[in-house]
Amino acid sequence: MIKPHGSDELNPLFVYDTEKHETLSKEAETLPSLLLSSSAAGNAVMLGAGYYNPLTGYMNVADAVSCAEKMMTTGGIFFPVPVLNLTEKADGFAVGDRIALRDPNVDGNPVLAVQTVTGIEDVTDEQMALMTDKVYRTDDMEHPGVAAFNAQGQVAVSGPIEVLNFSYFQSEFPDTFRTAVEIRNEIIEHGWKKIVAFQTRNPMHRAHEELCKMAMQAVNADGCVIHMLLGKLKPGDIPAPVRDASIRKMVELYFPPNSVMITGYGFDMLYAGPREAVLHALFRQNMGATHFIIGRDHAGVGDYYGAFDAQTIFDDEVPASALEIEIFNADHTAYSKKLNKVVMMRDVPDHTKDDFILLSGTRVREMLGNGEAPPPEFSRPEVAQILMDYYQSLD
C-alpha cells in the first residue's frame, strides 16, 4: 500500500487507548478552555483522523507563513496550506499550559481536543494578507474561503494536540464519515492495490459517475473511494445527507458490486482552488489512495481560478518528490449525442458544442425545483428523484 505522506506509518492524533482517553477527558474538564473557530475545529478533526499526517498539531506563525509562501514548513515538511488555530484573544492561559479546545459546532461546546501550548503569537495584518493571497490567490472578501479565514482572529495558538472526538461528523454521518485509518484498513480488507479517489462536495451526475469509471479503467484500478466533504459549505450548496443518499443510489445501481467505497471526511471547504487541490491529494495519499482525480475547476468557486489551475499547480509548483500519489487529470465531461456516451471533451476534437448535452448548474437547479428531471444522459433518474424531492421540500 502507498505510504502516508511524511512517515512510514500513519500517525493519527486521536487518542485510541481507552484508559488514556478517559484520563485525558477528565483532565480536560480542569483545564482552561478555548472555543475554537469552525475552521480550527475542522483542522483538529483532520489531524485526529490522520488526514494531515505527519503534522502533530497547529502550526506556529513561521511555519504557517512558510507553507503559504513555499508549501513547506520551516523544518522541511511539505504542506500546501497553513494549519492554524486562530482566535481573537488568548486569555487565561500561557505558553507551556495545556488547554481544552472546545467545539463550536456541537451544542454545549464539548471538548474536542487537548492542546499543549507552545506558542501564542499575534499575526500581523501583513502576514494575514500574505497567507490570504498565496493560498486563495485573491484578497476579495466576497470569496467564502477568504472571508472565513480572515474572520477567525489574529492570535495564533500553536502546539501539539490530542483529539478526543470527531465533532458532529461521527454521530450525524455514522455510515459515511471515515478516518484515514479506517479507510486504509478497509482498502486492505478489500485487497485493493490501485485505488482511485474522487472528491465531491456536490451530488454526482452522470458525468461524474463516468469520470470515476474512466479513471478506474485508465489506471487499471481495483476500486474507487468516493470521498465527500461533510463539513460547512457555502449557502445554496446541497446538504451532505442529500448528497450522500444520491451518491449511494448511483453506486448501488450503476457500479459493479464491491468496486466503490462511499466515505466522507469532516472539514469546512476552503474553496482555495489549486492549493486546496494539493491538500486534497495529500490527504488522499494518507488515506491510502494511489491515484486522485482532479477535474475542471477543482475546489474552485466563482471565477477566481482558471479551469485547469488545479492541475497545472502539480506541474508548476509542487516538487516532484513531494507526494507519491498520482494525479489523474480530467477534462470537462459531458454526454456526446454523436457517440451516445459520456466523454471527456478533449478526446473528441471533432465535436461542436451542439454535439453535447450541456446544462448549467443554475438550469439543473431550476429543473429539479420544478419537479422536472434532467435528461437521463445528464443525471440518472433515480438520483434526480432524490434531488427533486429535496428541492421541492424547500418550498
Q: Give the active site residues.
A: 201-202
Residues, the chain: 395
Residue 124: strand, helix, or coil: coil
Report the alpha-carbon distance of residue 83 to residue 79 in Å, rounded: 9
H/E element holding 78? none
Report the alpha-carbon distance of residue 199 to residue 275 in Å, rounded: 14
What number of other Cβ atoms are within 10 A of residue 337's Cβ?
Answer: 13
Which residue, among 238, 229, 224, 324, has the nearest Cα to 272 in the 3D structure? 229
Report the alpha-carbon distance of residue 361 to residue 380 in Å, rounded: 16
H/E element holding 256? none
Cell of 351: 465535436
Report the alpha-carbon distance of residue 194 to residue 325 in Å, rounded: 11
249 with 203: CB under 8 angstroms? no
Q: Which residues pair with 154 in a beta bridge?
A: none
373 with 367: CB under 8 angstroms? yes
Q: Which residues pair with 346 in a beta bridge?
A: none
Strand bridging mode 223-229 / 260-265: parallel
Report the alpha-carbon distance of residue 144 to residue 342 in Å, rounded: 32
Q: Which residues contact 257 (CB under 8 A, 6 or more apart)?
A: none
Q: Packing angle between helix 361-369 and helix 381-393, nearest 10 degrees? A: 70
Cell of 243: 448528497
Which residue, among 256, 284, 78, has the nearest Cα to 199 in the 3D structure? 284
Which residue, among 384, 306, 332, has the nearest Cα to 138 in the 3D structure? 306
